[in-house]
Amino acid sequence: MIKTVTRSGGWMALLCVLLMALPAKADYSQHPEAAAFIEEMVRDHQFDQAQITEWLRAANRQQAILDLISRPAEKTKSWKEYRPIFIQPLRISNGLAFWQEHAEVLARAEKTYGVPPELILAIIGVETNYGRNTGSHRVLDALTTLAFDYPPRAPFFRKELQQFFLLTREQRQDPLALKGSYAGAMGYGQFMPSSYRAYAVDFDGDGLIDIWNNTTDAIGSVANYFARHGWQAGKPVVSRTRFEGDEATIEFNSLQPPSSPLRDWEKRGFNAILPLEATLPVSAVKLEGQHGTEYWLTTHNFYVISRYNRSHLYSMAVYQLSQAIKDQWELNQ
């Protein structure tokens, strides 16, 4: 009898510990800042107050999302660690297969927006491995958790939550059903709700803009995103460079638009390996690669890639994946 009671007490104690470790179900409709959000949605966008309240009540707080957003790979990994995640044979071969399957749509996107197929493919490849991994988090959970429980960027995510409700109304989608990334990005190209509403396009003309399941809309939307951010058709993106100057005098890895012409960088010790125009504005990037320090000169088009994700590691991975896919495509022609 004593052993039985002790065992039962032990299980009860363990159960209490486990229950305490689980996050409490947050009723976001009762959050101190929810009332103002609900009022804004009703006043400015004519939503039904009871409906918005119900959606917020249905959202689940996700601690895993808060953990993930605090340590993104772009900020925790070096280039030699980051590059192999994306520049790998399977992702390249998947990109080639996607190109072969959607060659006509990709060609039309390039003609319409001036954005090369390999760049569109690289974005979709980096973001979701060509639609194989579009995210497992409920978008409502992700955006609500970050909008109300992530103070560093709460205003940004509150606006995205607002945009999400507007988007689902426009596209006749159930906000409780859609899934995406831990940050609330959706579809093949992982658009945030505001980007979806601003840049996604109905590229197949069926009357709906669907980048969740429609590859034609997804391809056109990525191309439109880059065109709207100033992609310069036919212009270079990067050049590997030799550097023999003083690093202390150089601002590396800036994500501002390049403003200094190549000839000025040459005076500071840079020597581009690819031929570039002396007047071409460029910026300098320094990466710690597998075989040591790498120096690159990057152009306006590299800056445009960074508008998709504000990271020089991300932008370089997209560019290098695009070139690897393009090389395979040309070998198969």
pLDDT confidence band for 17 (50 / 70 / 90)? very low
Between 15 and 90, the higher pLDDT residue = 90
Is the pLDDT at 10 greater than 90? The verdict is: no
In this structure, is the dihedral angle defined by the CA atoms of residues 216, 92, 257 and 80, taken in order, positive or negative?
A: positive
User: What average pLDDT score do residues 64-73 get?
Assistant: 88
Q: Give burial (CB, 10 Å; 0-12/13-18/19+) of 140.
A: buried
Instruction: Look at the pTM and tell me if it is higher than 0.85.
Output: yes
Give the pLDDT confidence of 90-110 residue by residue, as tens digits.
999 999 999 999 999 999 999
Instruction: Please compute, for residue 80, the number of CA atoms within 13 A of its CA located in the half-sphere on the CB side.
Output: 7
Query: How crowded is residue 80: how many other Cβ atoms within 10 Å of its Cβ?
Result: 14
Is the pLDDT at 1 greater than 70? The verdict is: no
Q: Is residue 216 part of a domain?
A: yes
Nearest residue to 123 via CA among 327, 251, 308, 248: 308
What is the secondary structure of 274-290 as a DSSP string?
A: S---TT-EEEEEEEEET
Do residues 269 and 245 lie in contact, with contact meaning Cβ atoms separated by under 8 Å?
A: yes
- Among 110, 118, 127, 160, which one carries the catalytic annotation? 127
- Quote the pLDDT of residue 78: 94
Q: Is residue 191 part of a domain?
A: yes
Query: How crowded is residue 174: how many other Cβ atoms within 10 Å of its Cβ?
Result: 8
Q: What is the mean pLDDT of the chain?
A: 92
- Quote the pLDDT of residue 333: 85
Phi, psi of 278 (to 5 degrees): -60, -25
Helix, strand, coil proportions of the chain in percent (round to 5)? 55, 10, 35
Nearest residue to 262 via CA among 271, 253, 254: 271
3-state secondary structure 200-236: CCCCCCCCCCCCCCCHHHHHHHHHHHHHHCCCCCCCC
What is the secondary structure of 129-188 as a DSSP string?
A: TTTT---SEEHHHHHHHHHHH-GGGHHHHHHHHHHHHHHHHHTT--TTT-EE-TT--BTT
Q: Is residue 312 part of a domain?
A: no
Nearest residue to 57 via CA among 150, 144, 158: 144
Name the token pair of 2: 């004593």
- Quote the pLDDT of residue 2: 33
Phi, psi of 138 (to 5 degrees): -65, 130
Give the domain extent around 167. 34-69+135-228
Is the pLDDT at 173 greater than 60? The verdict is: yes
- Quote the pLDDT of residue 274: 87
Q: Is residue 55 part of a domain?
A: yes
CATH of the domain at 215: 1.10.8.350
- Quote the pLDDT of residue 14: 42
Instruction: Please compute, for residue 92, the number of CA atoms within 13 A of its CA located in the half-sphere on the CB side.
Output: 19
Q: Is residue 117 part of a domain?
A: no
Q: Is residue 219 part of a domain?
A: yes
Give the pLDDT confidence of 271-316 residue by residue, as tens digits.
999 889 999 999 999 999 999 999 999 999 999 999 999 999 999 9
Going from the C-alpha of 215 to that of each of 64, 105, 177, the distances in angstroms are 29, 9, 20
Q: Is residue 75 part of a domain?
A: no
Is the pLDDT at 159 greater than 90? The verdict is: yes
Whether residue 127 lies in the annotated active site:
yes
Distance of CA 145 to the CA centre of its chain: 18
pLDDT confidence band for 25 (50 / 70 / 90)? low
Q: How many independent structural domains does the chain possess?
A: 1
Q: Is residue 144 part of a domain?
A: yes
Query: How crowded is residue 16: how many other Cβ atoms within 10 Å of its Cβ?
Result: 10
Do residues 273 and 240 lie in contact, with contact meaning Cβ atoms separated by under 8 Å?
A: yes
